[in-house]
Amino acid sequence: MVNDTTKTYWHLFLAFFRVGILGFGGGPTVVPLIQHEVVKKNCWLNDDDFSQILAIGNALPGPIITKLAGYIGYRVKGIVGCVIAIIASVVPTVILLIVILEILVKYRDNVYIAGMIGAIFPVVAVMMAVMAYEFLQKSWQDLKTLKFIIILAIVTVALWLKVSPPVIIIATIIFIFVPLIWRRPKS
């Protein structure tokens, strides 16, 4: 007989294993997959919590998949859940990397292999666009309209000027929180 704890560990493993196996291209491409597994399929987090965790995770160094897997695994089942989620998200990538690179090196001049690789990029672009749209919708609702437009304009200009994303994130945090600190009632 399988108890609920064992089921939860198994579901945690499967969720992040699927993300690891399907998250082609790393980084931003895995975020919609993680969101689907964690928010929509398993209901371990709601959209607001996931957005906050993602924002903080993006501000920290390192691969996003391991940061999200580690924190979500910890939140769901503690230290053991953290370890299971990280292992489940990394092992498929390592195995696939070895297998796929061997195949690509062996058949790199094959027209079909080149076409397969080229077909992946539009899929990733659509997944990113959908996620960006959902986050923009959420941001529009959470921030006052003028503040949202100002932040969007600043980020757009900063990206156009090729400012580093961490600098953009830190500047945005300062823009949002400094006025809040100054308005805080003094006791």
pLDDT in tens, 13-63: 999 999 988 876 667 778 889 999 999 999 999 988 998 898 888 888 888
Tokens of 160: 């156009």
Neighbours of 77 (CB within 10 A): 19
Whether this prediction's pTM lies above 0.85 is answered by: no
Q: For 164-184, write each residue's pLDDT tens digit.
A: 888 877 887 777 777 766 666
CA distance 51 to 102: 37
